[in-house]
Amino acid sequence: MEYKVKDISLADEGEKLFKWAEQHMPVLISIRKEFEKEKPLKGIKIAACLHVTKETAVLIKTLQAGGASIALTGSNPLSTNDGIAAYLAKQGIHVFAWRGNHDKYYWCIEQALKIKPNITMDDGGDLVTTLHTKHKELIKNVIGGTEETTTGVNRQRVMEKNGILKYPLIAVNDAMTKFLFDNRYGTGQSSIDGILRATSILLAGKNFVIAGYGWCGRGLANRARGMGAHVIITEVDEIRALEAAMDGFEVMPMKKASMIGDIFVTVTGNKHVIDGRHIKKMKDGAIIANSGHFDNEIDVSWLEKNSTKKEEIRKNVVEYTLSDKKIYLLAEGRLINLAAAEGHPSEVMDMSFSNQALAVKWIVENAGKLKNKVYKVPDKLDREVAKRKLKAMGIEIDKLTKEQINYMRGWKEGT
């Protein structure tokens, strides 16, 4: 079995983490049980580019239980848990991932592609892009793919629009049981978790600047407020800015926020949201982190060029000495929640990854019938995930009566 991980002897440590995640992912486990019986992925080869976490391990084992062979690579150089990578390698998965594989990031993707996938499972779009640029010859084997995150879906929609996309993709990110929970509560909690594990600072009373008020920004803003921070939102979208203001947050341009912020977190999915112009205005001691998919939201190269000294003063905290102040960058400006903590909690990944598993099964069932487009997760599957999650949480809900169904179908009954 081919793999490249940091240290295969970490497998036992990884197994313990995996088992802990399993206990908090009841929906995915229910799907795994069905997959074990039905083998819906028999003979299917999957190349996956995901954050190699304990939750991802539960997903990978579910796909394997369904009969798939899997090659796995990390979707960020700092997000791989080496114990999990070792555990999965021992479980017969072709794993090419280790924490800190910056130089070999694309090499790892290329190794995973050697499986000649029928299905791609991507988080951020690097796998799909590599396939469409450097390995077009492999596309003929692919029946479809899934995408986990907003950034990847955006990239793939551009590919579709420009006629470049060569096989159907399912935007798992856009399932309601994904973005309403993973992006909001997952990012909210795990970003704070990463910032606190890295810095151990007090949030109460701090000016906490969040760039971006999408689902991730919303979740983060609420959690930061819950910890007593004074939350400031920067936005480019007028509706979102208005929403942030009416949700009770202060809204201002980054130009202004940069002068008063104590902690800055970017969650926009865009580039250079914090650049040299902003850093110049920041207070001595300001802390900057990113929770968006890529590490380009903060112009780290500006800090590199304009600092006289750079020192790692704690794990995941680098102190940059500028002429007039010190600025602290967390986790190289990479996803703070995965680089400095453990990513989203298992309970939300339960829903995201159940969508992944059901979407893969759906692709197999619909092979050859789909166009080269970005599809939504079918509503039926999305709602199935919600139903199973409610059941696992012991929550019952009401049903419409016949009278109510008829009322909703009619138009004559009024005042």
Cβ at position 186, least distance to ligand ADE in Å: 6
Compare residues 51 and 334 and give the one whose CB is closer to ligand ADE: 51
Provide the β-strand partners of residue 169.
145, 374
Q: What is the 3-state secondary structure of 22-61?
A: HHCCHHHHHHHHHHHHHCCCCCCEEEEEECCCHHHHHHHH
Cα–Cα nearest to 146, from 337, 307, 319, 376: 376
- DSSP 8-state code for residue 186: I
Cα–Cα nearest to 73, from 43, 44, 52, 101: 52
Compare residues 22 and 55 and give the one whose CB is closer to ligand ADE: 55
Provide the β-strand partners of residue 46.
70, 119
Cβ at position 293, least distance to ligand ADE in Å: 9
Cβ at position 337, least distance to ligand ADE in Å: 6
Compare residues 78 and 257 and give the one whose CB is closer to ligand ADE: 78
Q: Which amino acid is at 401?
A: T
The CB-side HSE value for 395 (13 A sphere, CA atoms) comes to 7
- Cα–Cα distance for residue pair 194/287, rounded to 1 Å: 13
Compare residues 53 and 307 and give the one whose CB is closer to ligand ADE: 53
C-beta separation of 376 from 383 below 8 A: no
Cβ at position 11, least distance to ligand ADE in Å: 18
Compare residues 278 and 344 and give the one whose CB is closer to ligand ADE: 344
Cβ at position 149, least distance to ligand ADE in Å: 7
Q: Which residue is nearest to ligand ADE (CB)?
A: 343
Compare residues 146 and 307 and give the one whose CB is closer to ligand ADE: 146
- Cα–Cα distance for residue pair 264/135, rounded to 1 Å: 39
Compare residues 51 and 132 and give the one whose CB is closer to ligand ADE: 51
Tokens encoding 131: 């396939």
Compare residues 186 and 261 and give the one whose CB is closer to ligand ADE: 186
Q: Which helix (H) or strand (E) holds 306?
A: helix 300-306
Compare residues 318 and 349 and give the one whose CB is closer to ligand ADE: 349
- Cα–Cα distance for residue pair 14/57, rounded to 1 Å: 9
**Interface mask (CB under 6 A) for ligand ADE, residues 44-83, using x and -?**
------xx-x-xx---------------------------
C-beta separation of 88 from 107 below 8 A: no
Q: Which amino acid is at 171?
A: A
C-beta separation of 45 from 69 below 8 A: yes
Cβ at position 51, least distance to ligand ADE in Å: 4
Cβ at position 52, least distance to ligand ADE in Å: 8
The Cα angle at residue 362 between residues 61 and 46, in degrees rounded to 5: 45
**Interface mask (CB under 6 A) for ligand ADE, residues 311-350, using x and -?**
---------------------------x----xx----x-
Residue linked to tokens 């469409």: 132
Q: How many residues bind ligand ADE (CB under 6 A)?
A: 9
**Interface mask (CB under 6 A) for ligand ADE, residues 12-51, using x and -?**
--------------------------------------xx
Cβ at position 71, least distance to ligand ADE in Å: 17
Cβ at position 54, least distance to ligand ADE in Å: 7
Cβ at position 250, least distance to ligand ADE in Å: 28
Cα–Cα nearest to 235, from 260, 254, 221: 254
Residue linked to tokens 């079918």: 378
Tokens encoding 67: 């009969």
Compare residues 138 and 210 and give the one whose CB is closer to ligand ADE: 210
Compare residues 50 and 231 and give the one whose CB is closer to ligand ADE: 50
Cα 58 versus chain centre, distance: 16
Cβ at position 72, least distance to ligand ADE in Å: 11
The CB-side HSE value for 217 (13 A sphere, CA atoms) comes to 27
What residues make contact with ligand ADE under the rule CB under 6 A? Answer: 50-51, 53, 55-56, 338, 343-344, 349
